[in-house]
Every structure is written in structure tokens, then in C-alpha cells.
Amino acid sequence: MIQSANPAAIAQAAQALQAGQLVGLPTETVYGLAANASDDAAVAQIFVAKGRPADHPLIVHVASPEQVPLFAAQVPGFAQRLMQAFWPGPLTLILPRQPGVATASAAGQDSIGLRCPSHPVAQALLQACLLLGVQGLSAPSANRFGRVSPTTAAHVQSELGPDLLILDGGDCEVGIESTIIDCSRGEPVLLRPGQITRAQIAAACGRAVLDKDAPKDVMGQPAPRASGTLESHYAPRARVRLMPALDIAHKLQALGPHANNLGLWSAERPDAGSGVVWRAQPQSAEQAAHDVFSVLRELDARGVTQIWVQLPPDTPEWEGVRDRLQRAAA
Ligand code: TXA
Ligand code: MG
């Protein structure tokens, strides 16, 4: 059930988490499906609810940097600088894991992903959990595995059903998942682009940011697995195709009145009939990130069989949105 995130509902959610239950949680990026990070049986239920493969680790959410040493064995200086610059906020750091903690979340990795969210409801819940002895919340995006991430409480309910307690914190401001930086191998490595750009990361930590497919011999070890980094992910039911604006215009012209059951996310309103459902693609990368998952979800719900998406600009601030679209189209 969806509950407005007032103090009573937050207290109830904290108690449910302490008791080993799952809670749908708003964050500034997307909604998460949360469990007590130190309760392996509760965390195992997340994998079941999502249909997520057992070898895909979860991010542990903490109230503040103070909880980091409980989960991370070691924090390099550059990671410390990233926390100072961007926490609370949409940044996840992969760090060497404290042996024996958050085992189910780590899914076989000897590292742990940590994030301190800025959403006031997430913060309030994490604080309420701390008072009950719950030090961190494991939370993947609250969607079935491989599907589009939820950015409203209603999306979460449509993914995971009516029984789950979901705190309604409004629609998510950022709209795409956190930037993930692997800090476990001596140099910052970008595992997943997000609102915080690689240039911002580099500036804040004073190091060049490596790519996740940096050759093995540069890093010494292969990059860790990350499900958000699978080539095909974020898939709506409809087939997604990414195209330059000009191609969209030409194809629409060729189809003429035969364009049907077609969703379109592009900057310019097309000259097309009622068989085309158009949504405006914002000019700003930030607004586009905010909109992208809810537009895909809405077009899907309208039953279109294809969604044509205008290829966003190839500039750094669009990297996160481009990444999600490329994987929705894969
Ligand atoms: O914005 C977000 O990060 C959202 C909200 C709910 O906080 N969460 C989220 O979780 O996107 P999820 O599970 O959908 O994506 C987490 C990504 C996955 O690709 C996972 O493989 C990676 O983080 N990850 C987590 N722990 C890791 C680890 N120890 N090593 C490598 N990758 C890790
Ligand atoms: Mg996800």
C-alpha cells in the first residue's frame, strides 16, 4: 500500500524494516526497494521480489558518512573527497567491504556499494532506522529485474504489487540512478553515469576518471559486475529505437497515415496523425533525466509497439540519459 510519508508512516516503515520486511523508498534518483542491510534473510527477499539474479550486488544506503566504516574496510583519500563533495546526493561509491558485513547485499563481491541519499524522506527513514539499530538499508531500484526504474510511488506499486508498504515522497527529482564510482581499485572508475558527471568527479577528487572497460592491465583486475551496466536493461515492453531527429522526420513522412501504435520522444512536435503518441523531449539534460523513465513507462502503458527516441546530443551532461536510452534500445 502507498502511504504518504508523514512521521507516523516513516516510524512504521522503520519498524517494518527492523522486523525484516521490505519497504518501497523514495530517493532523489529513483525509488528503491529497501531492506535492513545487516539482515541477510530480508535482503534475500529483495532478490526474490525483483527476480534479480543472485550475483548482482545491491547498494547499501546510509544516513551519513559516519556509517561508512561499519561497511567499508578502507576509504581511499579520493573517495573521501567525493563523499565530502557530493554526499548526501546521487553518488554511489564502491569500496572494499568490511569482512562479514552485508554479505547478502554484496552478492559474492568483496566490495560494497555505499550511497547517502539526499531525499528528505530517505534521510528521515535512515535516521529512524538508526535509532532502532538498523545501520544501513540495501536498496536496488524498485522495479522487476531488467525493467524501467520507478520514479513515482505508483510506478513501484505497479511493479511490485499492492502488499508492499511504499512511502510516497513525490516524483523523483533526478530521475535516473546514481553515478557509480568504483573506488576499490586505487583509481576512480566510472561504472554507471548519472547526474553527477565524470568532469565533476574528476574535479572533486583531483584524479582522472577511468572507464569501466579500461584494459585489465591498467587496473590490475577486471571491473566488478554491475547489473545497471548490462547492455540490455531498462527495457519497456515496446521496442525502443534511437534515431537522429532527421531520420525520425523521414521515416514519419514515409509512413504517412500508416504510422500507428507509435510512441515518439523527440524535441519537435511531429507532423503525424493520431496513431503517433508524442511526448516532448526537453532541451535540458537535467529535465530529460527527470522525464526519461516516466515517459518510457507512460508510452508503454498506452500500448504502443514501438517507441522512437530522438538521439540526445553527444555532450558530457547527456551521458547518463544517453546510457539509459542505449540500454533501453539494446
Ligand atoms: O540511484 C540509485 O543508485 C538507486 C537508488 C534506489 O538508490 N539504486 C539503484 O540500485 O540503482 P540498482 O541495484 O538498481 O543498481 C545498483 C548498481 C547495480 O548495477 C549493481 O550491480 C551495482 O550498483 N553495484 C552494487 N554493489 C556493487 C559492488 N559491490 N560492486 C560493483 N557494482 C555494484
Ligand atoms: Mg536498477
3-state secondary structure of 62: coil
The ligand minimizing its distance to the Cα of 29 is: 1
Ligand 1 pocket: which of 27, 31, 59 to mutate (most atoms within 8 A of CB): 59
pLDDT in tens, the chain (330 residues): 999 999 999 999 999 999 999 999 999 999 999 999 999 999 999 999 999 999 999 999 999 999 999 999 999 999 999 999 999 999 999 999 999 999 999 998 999 999 999 999 999 999 999 999 999 999 999 999 999 999 999 999 999 999 999 999 999 999 999 999 999 999 999 999 999 999 999 999 999 999 988 665 455 555 555 555 556 677 778 999 999 999 999 999 999 889 999 999 999 999 888 899 999 999 999 999 999 999 999 999 999 999 999 999 999 999 999 999 999 998
278/264 Cα distance (integer angstroms)? 5
Dist. CA 150–CA 159, nearest whole Å: 8
* Ligand 1 in reach of 164 Cβ (< 6 A): no
* Chain position carrying cell 586505487: 186
Show the cell assigned to 53: 539474479
Q: Which residues contact 215 (CB under 8 A, 6 or more apart)?
A: none
Q: If 0-12 CB within 10 Å is exposed, 13-18 middle and 19+ buried, where does residue 232 land? A: exposed
Alpha carbon distance 270, 140 (integer Å) = 37
**Using a 6 Å cutoff on CB, does residue 101 contact ligand 1?**
no
Closest residue by Cα to residue 193 from 10, 29, 62, 72: 29
Among the listed residues 180, 63, 43, the one whose alpha carbon sits nearest the alpha carbon of residue 121: 63
Q: Which residue has its alpha carbon closest to ligand 1 atom 12?
A: 140
As a whole number of angstroms, the distance between CA 261 and CA 126 comes to 43
Query: Does ligand 1 lie within 6 Å of residue 179's CB atom?
Result: no
Sorted by sequence, the CB contacts under 8 Å of residue 274 that are 6+ apart come out as none
Atom number in ligand 1 closest to CA 174: 1
